[in-house]
Amino acid sequence: MTGPHLGARPAAWAAAIVLSVTGSGLVGGGVAHAEDIDTLTAQQIADRSRDALLGAHSMHLRTKGDLGRGRTPMSVDLTLDRDDNCTGSVDLGNSQGSVRIVKRGDEVWIKPDADFWKNQVPDGGQAFAAILNGRYMKASADDPRLLTLTKACDLDTFQKLVSDNADNDHGTLNKAARTTLGKAPVVPLTRMRGETTLRLYVAATGKPYPLRLTVQGGGADATVDFSAFDKPVPTSTPPPDDTFDINALLGRSTGTV
């Protein structure tokens, strides 16, 4: 018995997150400076924000919306760190299904909902759902059937992609006056790309973390929120009576599915 293609969809939303950040050209390269943020240029603030993002040990990442170009609107809500820990959920949008994920070191638990099994695994999905009966599938984090998902749920992977694409700086970068995002003082940076407006809100006090990125226009309407920098990922994992071994469910095939 072969398993569902659990890797393809998570790869799509992971790429969407990274595209939103690195493809914007807002999180740039360079050396951070110590001056007050109000005296810095737009590019210097972007540089500081990039450095702060890459220096974080953990964070909460939330995305929602549509990046256009025919992509299905998705939402992601993950807390992740550099120590292979992660918890949260992925919603594929348009009632296509959602997946809960808990990753702790070298173990991972995933719980697809009924819509996921119905739409993503039309051949046998209902049988899998019936066997699980609301429980998580438990597997090794290096199980090749889940590798795309587990690698995406890793802060090191995310930060490397940001770093590798930090030199994408097409379009003029502009700095606006201080404002607030919720209760947080921020400095907005804006870049135009054709019909698309990309706006990054950088914390104006403390470390210059990026707090929100919006992508609007040209068919796109998406938001990426960053928070809980350097706060621990919750340590709780599903109890044994709420889990089902993935090998017992999907068979012992070692090929990526």
| CATH domain 8-250 topology | outer membrane lipoprotein receptor (LolB), chain A (2.50.20)
pLDDT of residue 28: 60
pLDDT tens sequence across 52-96: 988 999 999 998 887 766 667 788 899 999 998 999 998 888 888
Q: What is the mean pLDDT of the segment spanning 110-118?
A: 90
When the pLDDT of each residue in the chain is averaged and rounded to a whole number, the result is 81
Which sign does the torsion angle of CA 5, 105, 161, 17 carry? positive
CA nearest to 249, candidates 146, 104, 150? 146
Q: Measure the CA angle with vertex 61, ends 152 and 202; round to 5°.
A: 125
* Percentage of residues in the chain having pLDDT higher than 70: 77
In this prediction, residues 175-200 reach a mean pLDDT of 91
Q: If you compute the radius of gyration of the chain from its CA atoms, what whole number of angstroms results?
A: 19
d(CA 171, CA 199): 12
Q: Examine the pLDDT at 118 and tell me if it is beyond 60.
A: yes
- Quick check: 55 and 222 in contact, CB under 8 A? no
pLDDT tens track for 214-253: 988 888 888 889 999 999 999 999 999 999 998 888 764 4
> What does DSSP say about strands 136-140 and 243-245: parallel, antiparallel, or unpaired?
parallel
For 233-242, what is each residue's pLDDT tens digit? 999 999 999 9
Query: Can you give the pLDDT at residue 254?
Result: 39
pLDDT bracket for residue 2 (50, 70, 90) = very low
pLDDT value of residue 30: 53
Distances (CA, A) of 110 to 52, 156, 204: 30, 20, 37
For 212, left (φ over 0), alpha (ψ -120 to 50), or beta?
beta
Please report, for the chain, the start and end positions of each structural domain, with discontinuous segments joined by +: 8-250
